[in-house]
Structure 1
């Protein structure tokens, strides 16, 4: 049982790390000479501009930012609740709240990545990009990590439900 708990703790910390990296790092959309994330876009690695209300479809960017931050907060809160519940609650009552928080984190990261997937065409046709001749590109590793974090948080949420019944 101790090995199972160690695996679950490591899995949860990995999920949180993926969420932090995908929320903070600048690689949601990359191309030749530019990269962008949910906070700013950079051309030639030095000319960085924050995404603000002058960009088209800024509401979608704000929704992505909010849900990614909420997902990260919920994942961290679920970890702290897990540690508290591990030592405070009796068997059979453990990890239900942790599972709920982790599944909510999963839902939030899925919403953020889905909005970005749906809106990336509109987000990257903004006139601000045309000034530098930015075109093309592909999804970056932060975007991929967001989807991996979705899978990890979903799996850990389910694992907490299963672990609730273990002795």
Structure 2
């Protein structure tokens, strides 16, 4: 039981960390080594000063949807972590972690919706259609897809997890 408890806790902390990196990281879209965009800013590298010059992305409904869903996912993941520890101490023997599992699965579904919107509407989110063909998705975008799998898998695992002594 101690091994399983430790594994579940480490998986949850790892997933929460990766989710925060995916949400607030600086690389959702990349244009070679000279530019990148995240959910908040679009940055270009200035060769003269060797600094990144960033400006906020133009606000669109799709961008707001992705931002809200990613933050909501991080909140649900954190809440499910707190609920897990509360249930761990107050739940009776043999109880199932339904609330934790549902919160975690819902975090996965909101991340899935955010990444799907970003995938299908990246032209509207980035507002730079001429540069869209020369770039590619960045590492934070890939981490968000990994989070979808980890969150849904751990949510299902929590639903079937039973408290033992």
TM-score by length of 2: 0.89
For the 8 Å contact 1:41–1:51, the answer to whether it is kept is yes
Residue-by-residue CA offset, 1:97-135 (whole Å, 9 max, x unaligned): 1001001101100000000000113334x25x76xx785
Residue-by-residue CA offset, 1:25-58 (whole Å, 9 max, x unaligned): 11000112100011111011522011243xxxx1
- 1:26 matched to 2:38? The reply is no
In structure 2, what is the Cα distance between the partners aligned to 1:82 and 1:123? 35
In structure 2, what is the Cα distance between the partners aligned to 1:72 and 1:134? 28
Q: Structure 1 runs of 4+ off > 2 angstroms? A: 91-94, 121-124, 164-167
In structure 2, what is the Cα distance between the partners aligned to 1:78 and 1:134? 37
**Cα offset for 1:165?**
6.8
Secondary structure in structure 1 of the residue aligned to 2:64:
helix
In structure 1, what is the Cα distance between the partners aligned to 2:146 and 2:133? 26
For the 8 Å contact 1:22–1:145, the answer to whether it is kept is yes
Gaps of 5+ in 2: 46-50
Gaps of 5+ in 1: none
**Cα offset for 1:164?**
2.7
For the 8 Å contact 2:42–2:56, the answer to whether it is kept is yes
